[in-house]
Structures are given as C-alpha cells and as structure tokens.
Amino acid sequence: MSWTEIQTAHSQNRHELVLSGADISKRIEEQKGLDPALFSLVNINYLCISETCLSSVPVDVAKLKSLTTLVLHTNKLTELPDCVGDLDKLKILDVSRNSLSALPETLTKLSNLTSINVSSNNIAHLPSFKNNLKLSILDASQNELEQFPDVVYPELAHLAEIKLKSNKITEIPRNVSSLPSLRLLDVSENLIQLVPGELADNSKLKDVMLKGNKLNDKRLMKMVEQCKPKQILEYISKNCPKEKVESGVGGGKKGKKGKGKQQQSESNSNQEISDLCNKISVLHVTDDSLKVISEDESVKLVRPHIVCCIVRDVKFTAETFRSFIHLQTRLHDTLCQKRQLATIATHDLSLFPPGPLHYVARPPHRIKLTPLGQDKELTAAEMFKNLQEEAEEEKRSQSGSGIFRFLTLLEGKQVYPYLKNAKNKTISLPPITNSELTKITESTKDIFIEITSSSSQGACKTVIHQLLLEILELGIGDAEDSNGFHSLKVQQVQIVNMEGTLKVVYPSRVDLQFEESKKIVIIRE
C-alpha cells in the first residue's frame, strides 16, 4: 500500500511533497527504499526527503520532470544517479549532510540550476559547472576537495557566492577575478599558503574569508583574524603577488598627487550621483540592538533558516498601506512559491517588549497565539486543523488556488517553529500566520521583518532582498526633501545561537547588491 503522504499528494494533485523524520526513516528501512508510487507524481516541483536513513536515490527520480527544487539533506546517501542530470527544470539542489564521495558529471547538463549545496559530505572532486550559466550559489564546505572547483569562467555571470570552508584546497586561481558577480568567497580552514593579488581585482567582491590557512604572508594571516574584509582586500591588492606586472612603474610622488586629486574628484562625483539615486541606508548593530536567539536543536528539523531586519521611519498613507499588504501577498504567491520556499512576516516594532526574540520549536498543542485578524487565542494544533478543513473545502469547490500548499511542510511534524518575544508571547507561527499582537497598521513607524524557510538561508535572503527593493519603490521611507528619489533606512538584525555565537546578520556587506539599472546607492553607516 502506498504511503499516506504520497496518496494525499496524488489525490489532491499537490505540487510539493515533504518526507522527513524518524517515521519516514523507519518505512524506508522496512521497505528497503522509497515507495515506488512517489515517482508517479510527475507534477510535483518541490520534493524534500530529509532526516532519514535513505542511502541511494532510485533512477526513477528522472520521471519527476517538473522538479525545480530537490532537497535531500541529512540522509545517508552514498551516491546520486546520473539521471539527476536529466531533471531539466531543476533550479535548487541540496544534498548536504550525507555521505557522498562524488557527484555525477551529468550535473553540468542542468542549465537552470541556480543553487547547489553539497556541504558536509566526503567529496574529493566536483564536476565542472562551466555550462551551468545560471548558477549563483555553490556551497561545498566541509568536504575533501583538494582543488578549487571548476567555476572560474566569465560566462558564469550570476555566480555570487562560493563557499569552500574546511576542505584541503591548496590554491586560489589567479583568474578568480573573471567572475563578474562574485560577492562572497569562503576558503577558510584550507591549506592555502599564497593569496594571489588578482583576488582583489574583482570589483564586486565584498567578503573574503581566509581564516585557518597557514599563509606565507604572516601580516596577512594576522589581518584575516582581526580585520574587516575591506581592509583585507586592500592589503591583498597592494601587497600580494600578481602574475602580470602593470606598466608605468616610477614617478611615485607625481603619481600620488595625481591619485589624490582623482580620489577627491571621484568622491565629489559619487556624492553627486548618490543625490540623483534611490538610497538604502544600512544602520549597523549596536550593543542595544534587538537580537534573535535561535534554538538550533529544536528548529533544525522543521524550519532551520531565519533572516531578519528592521525598516525604520516609515510613513504610510491609506494607499501605500494597502499596497504594502498586497505586496506581501503577491510575493507569497510567486517568489515564495505559495509559502513553500519561504514565508514573510512583518511586525510593528513598537509593540515588542524590551529584550531579545526567541526562535524555537515546540509541540503544536503547547503553542498559543491570537492569529492575525482574529480576537480568539488558539493553539497551533487548532489552527492547523482549521486550515486543513479549509483546504478540503477548497478542494471540493475546485477553486484550485493552492494557497494551502504550505500545510504539507508541517504535516506529521512533532514540533512547529515559532517566534516569541521577551515575555514568551508568540508573535508568529511560520508558515501559517502572524499574531494579532504585533499587527502592522497605518500608524506603524518601524517594521520588523522576519523571513523563514525550511529550504535554505539563500531562499530567505532572496525573498528579503526583493521585499526591501519593493518597499523602497513604494516610497514609504522617503525623506521630505527626496527630490523624486526614494530612500529607506534598514537596521541590521543579528541571529545568534543559544551560546550567543553569531549565525547571520542581515543586511551584511555582501547583501543588497542591485542591478545598475535600479539606480540604488547603498550607504553603510
């Protein structure tokens, strides 16, 4: 008999399926694999199998031609079949935290692939990604790589993040500067001794991580432990060897004088340009800044990823307030894939009591909140049941909107994730609802934004990036003397673990990178 989750997905023509946890693992062990009926769900575009004893993926996975997201993290996989390369529509592949020693060379055929996460495996060699022209994120941290991945091609115009922490890589390619969009390079805890000066030639590179390497340049080794990325890149540019020596050596004093005038001229020019552009001012965290404490052990099995920030000094009108609410609904339906990929929650910051927020997970009958737009407190279990009934009613009416697809992310889960304030009051229950307690109104001045995902931190950042762009374009943060250009103040928020160790801060130096056509200047205060 087919598994209940698969029968439900088939009968309701669902496009997403999540199989995770001890119960699924037990079934896999008893049946020596996955239910074959899974591969008859040819319409699903999101498949997540995680936290199980699954050791191999059947070749029948190639039948799932509609897949755009394949998440197989935290299993016991020792190999992937070559036919994964036949999933033409695949955009996101996550096989992190498995026991893989190699990847199929056929991955190079995935022309729509934007993100691949193979971290925490035993991989010694990666296939070439030269033909994956849409690739933007590569995470191969914590493997056995001895060589830098084959990704250094100017044709990879979207590749923005390369994460290679904790491998055995011995050198960084000198032509890494040919990657036009590279913003983050993490090669910490490898075997690198020499850093090429060309690394600093990449104009968009904002964050380079070199800690844990035994660098020949002792001063640089000290800097990577103590200094900011900008200072490190400046030092690399001036002091690390380059393969080609530029002409025009000599005339030092005259050159310096000319350079000083040029810098002053560029500074004045930049100021003039910034006055004729939309602006986002990033306010850095202070000792008194609001923090979110993530209880990693409880949330990691259900919804481990969270990114937050604060938008300051907004001014709503009746029209812009309606547009703001509609904006979130539209992003939930499109970019967030009906909340399957990520969920947006916005709160009135003035309604938060002093103290940090806590992101945790508990059994649904123990979680209580007043859902947005209601006046009665319910448990999370009651809310989930109510939404299931509404979903069944929608199915009977054949309206087909699919707005309840996100319920599959919580089906069968022993705990639900939620965010609570310093007084232990629940303020959001992703992906279900916000609390009426922190509801945004037209009088709201400061907005706390929370993005969560069961898929990846990259998904959170993609959504919050687009949300901030569209909030900027709404004009709700404009100064009175805006001269027709929009502005926005964004306060950083740190996510830390229970020990206080930083997990993520948003927006960081590598975030808020917009296309030139948007004419947006980022001012980091």
- Shortest CA distance to 304 belongs to which of 121, 451, 406, 185? 451
DSSP assigned state of 109: G
Please compute the mean of the pLDDT values over residues 213-223 and round it to a whole number. Answer: 89
Residue 182 and residue 75 share a domain:
yes
Shared domain for 307 and 397, answered yes or no, is yes
- Are residues 419 and 303 both part of a single domain? yes
| Mean of pLDDT values over 96-108 | 95
Whether 262 maps to a domain, the answer reads no
Q: Is residue 273 part of a domain?
A: no
**Residue-number span of the structural domain to which 511 is assigned:** 278-524
pLDDT at 482: 59
CATH number of the domain residue 358 falls in: 3.50.40.10
Lowest mean pLDDT among 125-134, 215-224, 508-517: 508-517
Strand 92-94 and strand 115-117: the pairing is: parallel
d(CA 71, CA 44): 13
C-alpha dihedral, 249 to 199 to 281 to 507, nearest 10°? -170
On whether the CB atoms of residues 95 and 80 are closer than 8 A, the answer is yes
Judgement on whether residues 294 and 346 belong to the same structural domain of the protein? yes
Task: Determine, yes or no, domain membership for 261.
Answer: no
pLDDT band at 419 (very low <50, low <70, confident <90, very high): very high
Do 152 and 72 sit in the same domain of this protein?
yes
Residue 281 has pLDDT above 50, yes or no: yes
- Domain boundary (239, 265, 288) is at 239
Backbone angles phi, psi at 62, to 5 degrees: -65, -15
Task: Kindly state the helix (H) or strand (E) to which residue 129 belongs, with its residue range.
Answer: none
The pLDDT assigned to 461 comes to 92
Query: What per-residue confidence (pLDDT) applies to 269?
Result: 40
- Reported pTM: 0.54
109 neighbors 85 (Cβ within 8 angstroms):
yes
**389 compared with 473, residue with greater pLDDT:** 473
H/E element, 32: none
Say what the pLDDT of residue 312 is: 95
Instruction: Let me know whether 211 and 346 are in one domain.
Output: no
Is 252 inside a domain boundary?
Answer: no
CATH of the domain at 160: 3.80.10.10
Is 244 among the domain residues?
no
CA dihedral 214, 216, 219, 221 (to 10 degrees): -20
* Structural domain contains residue 294: yes
Q: Whole-angstrom Cα distance, residue 496 to residue 491? A: 16
Query: Is there a single domain that holds both residue 198 and residue 303?
Result: no
Question: Do 26 and 122 fall within a single domain?
Answer: yes
Nearest to 337 by CA among 432, 463, 450: 463
Give the model's pLDDT for residue 517: 56
Q: In the structure, what pLDDT confidence band is assigned to residue 272 with cuts at 50, 70 and 90? A: very low
Residue 293 belongs to a domain:
yes
**Residue 405 has what pLDDT?**
66
Instruction: Collect contacts of 364-369 with beta carbons under 8 A, ≥24 apart.
Output: 364/413, 364/415, 364/416, 367/416, 367/418, 367/426, 367/429, 368/426, 369/418, 369/425, 369/426, 369/427, 369/429, 369/433, 369/435, 369/437
Q: Which of 33-42, 240-249, 311-320, 386-395 has the lowest mean pLDDT?
A: 240-249
Render pLDDT for 47-74 as a digit per residue (tens, 0 to 9): 999 999 999 999 999 999 999 999 999 9
Are residues 84 and 211 located together in one domain of the fold?
yes
* Res. 344: pLDDT tops 80: yes
411 and 514 inside one domain: yes
User: Which whole number is the average pLDDT over 218-246?
Assistant: 80
Query: For residue 524, what pLDDT is reported?
Result: 81
Helix (H, G, I), strand (E, B) or coil at 366: helix
Q: Is residue 251 part of a domain?
A: no
Separation CA 105–CA 118 (nearest Å): 14
Q: What is the pLDDT of residues 192-208, one digit of tens each?
A: 999 999 998 888 898 89
Residues 190 and 42 in one domain: yes
Question: Hey, which residues does 416 pair with through a beta bridge?
Answer: 362
∠ Cα 474 507 342 (to 5°): 75
| DSSP code, position 518 | G
Same domain, yes or no, for 289 and 225? no
- Domain count of the fold of the chain: 2
- Strands 433-434 and 184-186: what pairing? unpaired
List, in sequence order, every beta strand (DSSP E) within 154-313.
Answer: 161-163, 184-186, 207-209, 278-283, 291-294, 305-312
* 99 HSE (CA, 13 A, CB side): 11
